Amino acid sequence: MKRLLTFFALAVFIAAPLTGVRAATLTAGTLIKASGQAVYYYTSDGKRLVFPNEKTYFTWFSNFSNIMTITDAELAAIPIGGNVTYRPGVKMIKITTDPKVYAVDDGGKLRWVSTEAIASTLYGSDWARKVDDVPDAFFTDYADGTTITDASSFVPSTVTARNTAPGTTTPSTPDQTVVTEETSETVTAEVGNQLSITMDANPSTGYTWQKTFPSSFLSLISDTNASTSTLIGAGGTETFLFQATATGTGDIVLTYKRAWDTTTPPAKRHTIHVTITAASSAASNISLAVQSQVQTNEKVPITANILNVKAGDSTKISVDGIDVTTCGAISTCSGNYTIPSAGALATSTVTAVLTHANGTTETAHATLLLVGEVQRDSIYLDIPRTTINITTTFIATAYPGPNLTAQDIYFVLDGSTVKDCGPQPTSCKYQNTLSGGIGSTHTLYARVKSTTGQFYRSKTYTITVSNNDAPMISVLAGKTNMYSTETVDVTGTASDDDGISTMSIYQNGTVIKTCTGVSSCTAIAGPFTLPVGTVLNFAASATDMKGLVSSSTQDALVTITK
């Protein structure tokens, strides 16, 4: 049976009275209460700190045990020392009136996480679901910190480990935003262009260039090192090749440091201010839709979309100079290219050429990156709850998704295969109790082997063992394909034994609607100014009446087709 908790403004409350002690016997670090239900943290300087809400409390403590009761008079004699802030490193926070997302550092300092790529590096691909909204009134409890422009300058687990109790930080670490050499440049390119950045480097010293970049409009094609001398230990260069996939503005940040050294400031930082504009009119009538990651022996579908088709037009698709298909005057030209098992390139270039009747041409390019195992978001992993009661049986079901026939499906829990559902399953179900006590976490993903021998994996999810079940939640879009001029209804549906307090709908990690006191929430998204082939990701989250948050584990995907 679940334990009911009640929460009011400015303090955390519990329902059951506990054994009383005299204030004189209190030691620093004690959780205290009087005849009321408010719980406070007793500090070494004889003050009591207030927990603004349950979310803040549970970043420090996993339950309400070990709380001591004192008399009202003794409590009144203890001065209030302020509000408790989120435990550094555990979660990111924001306010509803500001879209910026902040990491919490030592001393309650807020450090703006400047790009989605950095947020993903710090808190995983589902980082947006690890952001809590803090009421504006409590935002002033925090101090201003430096912006995080390099993921290596903030390690969440390290920051959390040195903040063992509210109001303490041991030991402090040097400000890693200070660098010996700081340089920058500005680059403007068009969608479809490639950006090559070459930096002096000497890997033999242990130093390499660590990168962060805006993944919403750039994709990394390759990261290669080259030596400028045959001498052992001689220096060389490191070259990053990026593909511009959509319009946008942001920074590529390169920091020169030893990847394993989390305390020493980077020796150098180079920032490239990037602006990607729409392709010029000379190449605006053709675009390519193709998956970016591939494996050997894989049959890769390639589609060229053509606008304003005229009589006499023709389109040819090729990969690394090898013809794939040729089409006449049609708006969609498609073909398949099989990645060779021998002699496959690390990166291959897809080219689509539109030739007009007058002999003029328009060209579009895309890149295929050869990998060992492809993450495919269309592999559907149904996890009703990612925060689960320690006594509840955990259940997950995997489906291979469209255009993928499974020879086998596996569940991988904490790095080990725990279920094999072959041969040729249409789905795979795993259920079991999870080991570890309250507060322990587990990673889970589904691995699919295709009938042609390729391996694909779903997103990886984190499962938390708790003393309370999180809400069950799902999200559904009204359509899977749409024109950029249209709108789409996106609905989140949630349920929980404790009732639903709030629900939010997300588009590519940003909240687009929040509903209060309902179990179903619908947002209308669009119209958009986005290129053909763009995939929109919609997710949902729900908070129960006890403040426990859960997010949908499978995004609703909508593709812009025109």
Please state, in angstroms and rounded to a whole number, the distance separating the CA atoms of residues 106 and 85: 10
Say if residue 43's pLDDT is above 90. no
Angle at alpha carbon of residue 401, lines to 396 and 406, rounded to 5°: 90
Same-domain pairing of 56 and 137: no
Give me the residue label for tokens 């691909």. Answer: 125
Considering the chain, what is the average pLDDT of its residues? 82
* 54 and 25 in a common domain: yes
The DSSP H or E segment spanning 57 is: helix 54-60
- Using alpha carbons only, give the angle 364, 367, 368 rounded to the nearest 5 degrees: 140
Give the CATH number, domain containing residue 264: 2.60.40.2020
Instruction: Report the distance separating Cα 223 and Cα 403, nearest Å.
Output: 31
Show the DSSP H helices in 475-528 as ranges.
none
The DSSP bridge partners found for residue 255 are 210, 269
Residue position matching structure tokens 């179900």: 429
The whole-number average pLDDT for the span 245-252 is: 86
| pLDDT tens by residue, 266-321 | 778 888 988 888 766 444 688 898 887 888 888 899 999 998 888 999 999 999 98
User: How many angstroms separate the CA atoms of 366 and 319, rounded?
Assistant: 9
Distance CA 385, CA 470 (A): 6
Widest pairwise Cα distance in the chain = 94
Token pair of 64, please? 């309400």
Is residue 79 domain-shared with residue 102, that is, in the same domain? no
For residues 198 and 88, the model is more confident at 88
Give the pLDDT band of residue 259 (cuts 50, 70, 90). Answer: low
Q: Which domain holds residue 513?
A: 470-562
pLDDT (tens digit per residue) in 306-358 = 988 889 999 999 999 899 999 999 999 999 999 988 777 888 899 999 998 88
Tens digit of each residue's pLDDT (9 = 90 or more) over 523-532: 999 888 877 7
CATH code for the domain in which residue 321 is found: 2.60.40.10
The pLDDT assigned to 439 comes to: 82
Mean per-residue pLDDT, 377-385:
83
Does residue 335 sit in the same domain as residue 348? yes
- Quote the CA–CA distance of 126 and 129 in Å, as a whole number: 6
Q: Is 206 left (phi over 0), alpha (psi -120 to 50) or beta?
A: left
Between 62-66, 148-152, 202-206, 355-359, the lowest mean confidence (pLDDT) is in 202-206
Q: Flag whether 464 is in a domain.
A: no
Indicate whether 518 belongs to any domain. yes
Cα atoms found within 13 Å of the Cα of residue 20, Cβ hemisphere only: 11
Q: Which two tokens stand for residue 201?
A: 């480097």
Q: 482 is written with which tokens?
A: 């749409």
Residue 352 placed within a domain = yes
Residue 280: per-residue pLDDT: 61
Q: Do both 267 and 296 map to the same domain?
A: no
How confident is the model at residue 16, as a pLDDT? 37
Domain closes at, from 341, 370, 399:
370
Q: What residues pair up with 110 in beta bridges, in sequence order?
A: 104, 144
Final residue before a domain boundary, out of 342, 370, 398: 370
Q: Tell whether 387 is covered by a domain.
A: no
One domain for residues 13 and 54: yes
Predicted confidence band at 4 (pLDDT cuts at 50, 70, 90)?
very low
Which whole number is the average pLDDT over 28-33? 87
> Do 76 and 96 lie in a common domain?
no
CB-count burial class (<10 Å; 0-12, 13-18, 19+) for 264: exposed
pLDDT digits 0-9 by tens, 361-373: 888 898 888 877 7
Separation of alpha carbons 434 and 253, rounded Å: 40
Q: How confident is the model at residue 262 (pLDDT cuts 50, 70, 90)?
A: low
- Angle CA(98)–CA(101)–CA(104) in degrees, nearest 5? 120
How confident is the model at residue 173, as a pLDDT?
A: 40
9-18, 241-250, 462-471: least confidently modelled range: 9-18
Where is pLDDT greater, at 36 or 541?
A: 541
**Among 56-70, 156-170, 398-412, 415-429, whose mean pLDDT is lowest?**
156-170
Whether residues 366 and 288 share a domain: the answer is yes
Using alpha carbons only, how large is the chain's radius of gyration in Å?
A: 27
Bigger pLDDT: 20 or 110? Answer: 110
- The residue from 250, 277, 304 where one domain ends is 277
- Sequence letter at residue 261: D
Residues 115, 127 within the same domain? yes
400 in a domain, yes or no?
no
Same domain, 329 and 341: yes
The pLDDT of residue 255: 86
Question: What is the band of 470 on the pLDDT scale with cuts at 50, 70, 90?
Answer: confident
Instruction: Confirm whether 378 is domain-assigned.
Output: no
Task: Read off the pLDDT of each residue in 75-101 and give the average, rounded to a whole number.
Answer: 87
- Mean pLDDT in residue range 202-226: 79
Cβ-based neighbour number of residue 420 at 10 Å = 13
CA distances from 403 to 299, 406, 423, 451 (A): 11, 10, 18, 12
Return the residue matching tokens 């300058």: 153
Q: Is residue 483 part of a domain?
A: yes
Percentage of the chain with pLDDT > 90?
A: 20
Most confident of 128-132, 257-261, 434-438: 128-132
Domain count, the chain: 5
Q: How far apart are alpha carbons 152 and 223 in whole angstroms?
A: 18
Q: How far is CA 438 from the centre of its chain?
A: 24
On whether residue 546 sits in a domain, the answer given is: yes
